[in-house]
Structures are given as C-alpha cells and as structure tokens.
Amino acid sequence: MQSHLLVLAKAPVPGRVKTRLSPPLTTVEAAAVAEAALADTLEAVAGCGADRLIVALDGEPGPWLPEGFEVVPQVPGSFNERLAAAWAFAGGPGLQIGMDTPQVTPGLLDEGLAAAVEHGSALGLAEDGGWWAIGLGEPHPEAFAGVPMSCDDTGRRQLERLRALGFRPAALPVLRDLDDAADARAIAALVPQSRTAGAVRDLLEPDMVDVILPVLDEREAIPWVLERMPKGYRAIVVDNGSADGSAAVAAELGARVVSEPRRGFGAACYAGLAAATAPVVAFMDCDASLDPGDLPGVCDPVLDGEADLVLGARDAEPGALAPHNRLANRYLARQVKRLSGAEVSDIGPMRAAGREALLGLGLADRRSGWPLEMVLRAGLAGWRVAEVRVPYRPRVGRSKVTGTAAGTFKAVKDMRAQLARVRRTLRSSD
C-alpha cells in the first residue's frame, strides 16, 4: 500500500490566514508570512520519502505549490469533518501536517511516517496545547470525532480520542506552531535561511522600535552605542544643546538627529517621541552605561502584546551606580507602588512602550521628572508594567543630572513635584 504525506492548508489570502499576526502586521503582510510558511512546509514535504504528496486545500493553488503534489479541495464543514474527508481521500498509511510548522524537515517527516507505520498511529503535540502532526496506519472515520479543535487542550483530547479507539500513538517531537508574532520570531530564529525567516525579517523587524537617545555632550559614547543597535531598531538621537559636536557624529553614523533647544531630559524625550513613527518606542541613555543589544529583551514583551510598559531594571557593575542613586531608586519604587500600584524596583533609564499609548498618557514633565511621571501615569492608567533585568556599566563622562550638586538638586525637586502632583490627584478623587 502506498504511503502518503498529507498537508491541510489554506491559500494565503489576506484576511483569511494568520489573523493573529494582524496586528502588528497588516492582513496583506500576514498573508505574506503565511505564504512563506506554506512554501517552506511544502518544500520539506517534497523532500520526504512518501509515495504520494497531497495538499487538501481551502482555496486556489498558487506559485507556492511545487510540482508533484496532488491537490484535493477541502470539503465544507467543521475542521474535524475536513480532516476526516482528507484522510478518506488519501488512504493510508500516512502522516498529516498543517501549514503552521515551517521548521519541519524531510527527515522529521520521514521519522513521523515510519512511526505511524510501525505503531499504527503517531501524534506530534504542539507547544500551545494543540498538535502539529498525526499519523495513521490506515484512515479511521472516527479519529477526529468529538475532538475540540483550536483549544488549549486539543492535543491532549486528540491523544485521548486515539487511545479510546484502540490506538497507541508513537510520540513525535513537540514543535511550536506559527500563530502570532512571538511564534514567528522564534521559528525564524530556528530556521534563519528559510522563506519564513526572510518574511519575518522583512515585515516584523524593520523599524519595529524607534530608540530615543537624549544627548548632551555624548560625543565619545555615541559611536559605541550606535554600532550596537539591533537590526530593526532605529536610533533617534535628540540633541539637547551639545557643544561637542554630538549631533554631527550621530548623523555621520546614520542616526536620525532631532534638535531640542529647550533644556531638560523630559523635553528631549518628548521631542524624540514626537519624531518617532514605529509602533513601539524605547528610551535609553546614550552614555554607554546601557548596551543597545539588551533592547530586544525589554521591547519584546511590548511587541508581543504581553506588557504595556517595560523597564530595564539595572544590574549595576561596581562603581556604575552611586549609593545615593540606589537609595533614591528604592524610595521612588516604593512610592510608585504605593501611589499607582505598579510593581517596580528601578526607575531605570531603559524602557519601552507603545508609541500611541504613550502619547495618550499626556506626559507633561519636561525636566528630570519625566521617567517617574511615565511610570506613575502608566500604573494609574492600569497599564501592565513589567521589568527585565539589564546590565548597567559605568558611564562615559559625568552625569548631566546627578553628576553635580546642582543637577542632583534639580532632579530631586522634579521627582518630588511628580509625587506631590499624584498625591493631590488621589486626594481630590477620594
């Protein structure tokens, strides 16, 4: 009896495939990722040793379909009914997969098919609780009956169904399905030379994040910072009155440079925010105390919709954070929790949030109170505030804020003003 490899797939039509990728992608972009994933999947299938290669297709074939495949239309009805009909057409023995695991290889598919032949059935569970592959020695009309599809426990329920029918499925490796942006990035990292990875790089990475770098005489540190900016992260250097040519250095290195003549950390940050266009913005000091290579760890929870504001809580090297800075951080963190409910340990200088949401907070401080105001307002607005640990190194040059007695006094004054403003707001709402 001839063996087969069966793929259940949808034609990659915008609005009908990979809907959980939109947002952050448009429906057209999500369909492009789906097409790349389908093409990678079919290429792997074409390289396996099955006698017949079959696509049960919802939609019309396109240029992504290699030669050598039988194409059968999916029947109307539930997903369970479509699965059963596709298996009835294909016969057995066989292995069936979908279009959500472009990381599969011909070798893995051959192993799954061999396991189905040897054991009479095989099942490959997915990390999200579903399943990515099922193998049967011969079709069974009731194999999928009563199994809830697209649920957190679909894989477990499918396994129970097979066992109830007398099968003892061989366990295939657990794989990750490509459903959302986090999945797409993770799978692209596994198969960086694939079409899927190329689509993810082209569509999910360009200008994912605008990185706002307030600058005041940071000429010496700027090259180190900019050369370490991750791909897909665009540097916006906001010159706040530098006298050492910082703006020219940044421009020569390819950064976008914005000038903000009003002195103040908050003024520079807001100017960068107003100039940003990416869906997510990050802020960090440009004094080489923080490594831009750590930005993805801070930004990914925002990009993936898992948090609204993420702070880089500093793991300071010896000498990087003065004792009075540590004490001030602890005090401010306690006040933030007490006043806004946000659980933070550090009002750190590396942070990320959605651009539109951040503009909607209406931050008003244009001095040193900007970072504190952001966390307080986010907490009061019910934002999901999270922290990620980041290394913190001794900075290049002296801090413009806490490096002098006058700067420290101004910063403390600005922070106190923010705390007092929130206290007044809370009292007036009681």
Pair (214, 312) in one structural domain = yes
pLDDT of residue 430: 60
Pair (150, 229) in one structural domain = no
Pair (228, 123) in one structural domain = no
Pair (188, 233) in one structural domain = no
pLDDT of residue 328: 84
CA 415 to CA 387: how far, in whole Å? 20
pLDDT of residue 49: 97
Closest among 61, 103, 96, 62 to 80, alpha carbons compared: 96
Q: Is 68 exposed, middle or buried (0-12, 13-18, 19+ CB in 10 A)?
A: exposed
Helix (H, G, I), strand (E, B) or coil at 12: coil
Pair (167, 241) in one structural domain = no
Q: Which of 181, 201, 221 is the C-terminal boundary of a domain?
A: 201
Give the alpha-carbon dihedral of 56, 66, 193, 390, to 10 degrees: -20
Pair (250, 306) in one structural domain = yes
Pair (178, 223) in one structural domain = no
Q: Which of 201, 227, 252 is the C-terminal boundary of a domain?
A: 201
Domains identified in the chain, total number: 2
Closest among 273, 207, 297, 216 to 250, alpha carbons compared: 216
CA 324 to CA 330: how far, in whole Å? 10
What contacts 318, CB < 8 A, 6 or more positions away?
Answer: none
Pair (268, 119) in one structural domain = no
Residue-number span of the structural domain to which 221 is assigned: 205-429
**pLDDT tens sequence for the chain (430 residues):** 899 999 999 999 999 999 999 888 888 989 999 999 999 999 999 999 999 999 999 999 999 999 999 999 999 999 999 999 999 999 989 999 999 999 999 999 999 999 999 999 999 999 999 999 999 999 998 999 999 999 999 999 999 999 999 999 999 999 999 999 999 999 999 998 999 999 998 888 666 799 999 999 999 999 999 999 988 898 999 999 999 999 999 998 888 999 999 999 999 999 999 999 899 999 999 999 999 999 999 999 999 899 999 999 999 999 888 888 888 888 898 999 999 999 999 998 999 999 999 999 999 999 989 999 999 999 999 999 999 999 999 988 665 555 555 555 677 777 888 888 878 877 776 6
pLDDT of residue 231: 80
Closest among 282, 277, 278 to 205, alpha carbons compared: 278
Q: Which two tokens stand for residue 166?
A: 């007398």
In 303-407 the beta strands, taken as DSSP E runs, fall at 309-316, 351-354, 385-392
Pair (264, 193) in one structural domain = no
Pair (342, 320) in one structural domain = yes
Pair (254, 357) in one structural domain = yes
The domain that holds 93 is classified in CATH as 3.90.550.10
Pair (171, 213) in one structural domain = no
Pairing of strands 94-97, 4-10: parallel
Please say whether the beta carbons of 301 and 388 come within 8 A.
yes
Q: Which of 154, 186, 201 is the C-terminal boundary of a domain?
A: 201
